[in-house]
Amino acid sequence: MLTALGLSELEQQVYVDVLRGRGVRAGEATAAALEGLRELGLVGVDGDRVYPTPPDLALDSLLLERMRQLQEARLGVRAWVQSQQSGDGTVAGVETVVGTAAVSQVFDQILRGAQEEVLGFDRPPYLGGYHDNPTELELLGRGVRFRIVYDRRTLDRAGAPGRIGRCVAAGEEARVASGVPAKLFVADGRIGMLSFPGPGEVPAEPWAFVVRGQTWVAVLEALFAEVWDRGTPLRLAPAADEIENLDRGTVPTPADRQILSLLMAGLPDKAVASQLGMSLRTVQRRLRQLMDVTGSATRMQLGWYVARNDWL
């Protein structure tokens, strides 16, 4: 039920456990879920103790905020419908593009035209395969700022951390979130694109809205800001050190950030090891070392330490 207020299934489960006074079990994703609940004002933290804030007040506040967002969306839809019904039925500044080739071409044109900043959502499906984007790397080299939110499912794809890591190393600011709603790109606050897969279990040809003008682009920027704010930072730049021989006084190392980023994104130990080309034993040993260095008795405590000290 609480998913309607913006909680993930894991956050809802953890919140119910806290409300009922159950001990919250440590796990890779638990710390991220608790941090999300804390940001929403549903729980508080006092040292190692997690306690619920008054649920009637906290949930009412969330409900009112969601109602405000829905009202804004309702007004926006009403304005859009009115513009559709006026004149010849076209919407000024909005163009529909259909088909893999057409969507890819327009996306590349928007990207190559960026001069200052690109905002984006990256999520499956990938009809053309998941691979490096040389245009982004070229633009990063010219000083164009990129802020990208990756869907959690993207990290399950083979080679994804390496591809994202190359972009992060070049200057991309990356975050990961669950349920990224669509592929989105906005260039320099002047032109944007919102792309969706075709209908059906096996994705058909994708389609997209291309928007121009301050009013329409501002809608996409607001959508981006909402998802960006709830995302978890990804620190996947290639590690220059050896995981086997680390000086504990230098943590967090690039390798530490790789491991912690994927764990905070919700990947289990085995998947983290596979994505980073490490053995499961190496990943677990390094986590044990990090817990020792930070004085954390559990992974949940390690997660709070990571968040408190801005390691990610």
Q: Is the dihedral of CA 246, 250, 253, 259 positive or negative?
A: positive
Strand partners, 177: 151
pTM of the model: 0.55
Right CATH number for 92-233 from 1.20.1250.20, 3.30.870.10, 2.60.40.4070, 3.40.50.1100?
3.30.870.10
Q: For the chain, where do the domains classified as CATH 3.30.870.10 start and end? A: 92-233
pLDDT at 243: 47
Q: For the chain, where do the domains classified as CATH 1.10.10.10 start and end? A: 248-308
- CB contact burial 131-159 (16+ within 10 A = b; e otherwise): eebeebbebbeeebebbbbbbbebbeeee
Tokens of 299: 């992974």
CATH number of 1-91: 1.10.10
- What are the pLDDT tens digits along the chain (312 aa)? 566 666 777 777 777 877 777 666 555 457 777 777 877 778 877 777 777 777 777 777 777 777 776 666 666 665 665 555 444 434 457 888 888 888 888 888 888 888 999 999 998 887 666 667 888 989 999 899 999 999 888 887 777 878 888 888 888 998 888 888 888 999 999 899 988 876 655 556 788 888 888 888 888 999 999 889 888 887 765 544 444 444 455 567 777 777 887 877 777 888 877 777 777 888 888 888 787 777 677 777 777 777 776 776
Class of domain 248-308: mainly alpha
Rounded Cα distance between 98 and 105, Å, is 11
